[in-house]
Structure 1
C-alpha cells in the first residue's frame, strides 16, 4: 500500500553536528551512507561521544561530505562553524575552538564506510518521522512552528493520508522505499533534551520536551532496521508491505 513519499533525506557525517540534506543516498546495512561515521570523543568524560547533551552549540556546526561517496574510503568531511569558517573536521584550529567553547578535551574517531556500529548511530539503523506527526505536534505546542531538525530524522516522509503518529501503528511491519530498499519499524524514539535546542542559535526551550513527555509519553519518530540495502532518493514512493 502506497503511504507517502520521501520528502527529505538527512545524513549526519559527524555525530551531533548539523546534518546535510541530500537528494539521494545509498542505504547500507547500518543506515544512510556515512551517517554518524565520524564522531568527536569527550576525553574528559571517560572517552564517551561528545554530543549536544554536553555541548549544545554543536547544532550550529554544519558537517558535510565533499566528493563522491565511496565504499573504499569516505570523502573529505568539511565542517562550517557558526561564524561561517570552513575546516576539515580534524583541523587543530577547529578542535581548539570547540574545546574552548565546551571546556572539554576532544579527540576524533572515524568508522569504516562499510560498517558503522549502532553506538554512534543511536539505537537502530534509521530514524524516520512524518509530516503529519510534526504538524500535529505543532498544534500540541501551541501552534508554534517546529524545525524538524530538532528531531534529527534520516527519513522525513510526506504521508498521503495525513494521520498523525500513524507510523507508530506500523511497528514490526516493513516499508519499501523506491525499487530496492526495505526497512522494518522496530522501536519508538524516546526524546531527551536535544529537541529543546534551537538548531539555528542553540537557545533552549524546555517547553517542547515537556509537551512531548506529556502528550506523547516522550516519544516522537520511529527507529527502523535495514532489511534490504540499495539506493533511495527524494520523491521515492514509500509503501507499507503486507
Structure 2
C-alpha cells in the first residue's frame, strides 16, 4: 500500500552535530551511510559520548561528507563551527575548542563503513518522523512551527493520508522505500532534553518536552531496523506491508 514519499533524508556524520540533508544515500546494515560514524568521547565519563545533553552548543556545529560515498572509507568530514570557521575532522583545533567550551576532556572516535556498530543511533538503525505528526505537534505546542531538526530524524515522510501519529500503527510491519530498501518499524522514540534545544541558537525551550510528555507520553517519531540495504532518494515512494 502506497503511504507517501520521502520528503527529506538527513544523516549526521558527527554525533550531536547538525546533520546534512542529502538527495540520495546508501542504506547500510547499521542505518544511513555514515550516520553517527564520527563522535566525541566524553573522557570525564567512562564510556560516554559527548552529546547535546552535556553540551547544547554542539547543535550549532554542522558536519558534512566532502566527497562521494565509498565503501572502503568515508570521505573527509567538513565541519563548520558556530562562528563560521571551516575545519576537518581530526583537526586538533576542533577538539581543543570543544574542550574549552564544554569544559570537558574529549577524544575523537571514528569508524569505517564496514565497522560502524549496528544501531548507529545507539537505540536502532533509523529514526523517522512524518509531516502530519510534525504539524499536529505544532498545534499541540502552540508555536508557529516545529523544526524537525530538534528530533534528529533520518527520514521525514510526507504522508498520503495526513493522519497524525499513524506511524505508531506500523509497529511490526515493513515499509519499502524506492526499489530496494526495506525497513521494519519497531517502536516509539522516547524523547529527552535534546528536543528542547533550538538547532539554530542552542537556546532551550522546556515547554516542548513538557508538551511531548503530556500529550504523547514522551514519545515522538518511530525507530526502524534495516531489513534490505540499497540506495534511497528524496522523493522515493514509500509502501507499507504487513
Gaps of 5+ in 1: none
Determine if contact 1:41/1:107 at 8 Å carries over to the other structure: yes
Determine if contact 2:32/2:154 at 8 Å carries over to the other structure: yes
**In the alignment, what sits opposite 2:165?**
165
| 3-state SS of 2:161 partner | coil
Query: TM-score if structure 1 supplies the norm length?
Result: 0.98
Deviation at 1:118, TM superposition (A): 4.0
**In the alignment, what sits opposite 1:148?**
148
Deviant stretches of 4+, over 3 Å: none
What RMSD, in angstroms, separates the aligned Cα atoms of the two structures? 0.9
Aligned partners of 2:48, 2:99: CA distance in 1, in Å?
A: 15
Aligned partners of 2:176, 2:225: CA distance in 1, in Å?
A: 12
Determine if contact 2:23/2:233 at 8 Å carries over to the other structure: yes
| 3-state SS of 1:194 partner | helix
Q: Is 1:124 aligned to 2:132, yes or no? A: no
Aligned partners of 2:205, 2:122: CA distance in 1, in Å?
A: 23
Determine if contact 1:44/1:104 at 8 Å carries over to the other structure: yes
Aligned partners of 1:66, 1:118: CA distance in 2, in Å?
A: 24
Gaps of 5+ in 2: none
Aligned partners of 1:63, 1:143: CA distance in 2, in Å?
A: 28
Query: TM-score if structure 2 supplies the norm length?
Result: 0.98
For residues 78-227 of structure 1, the aligned pairs below 5 Å read: 78-118=78-118, 120-227=120-227
Count residues in correspondence.
242
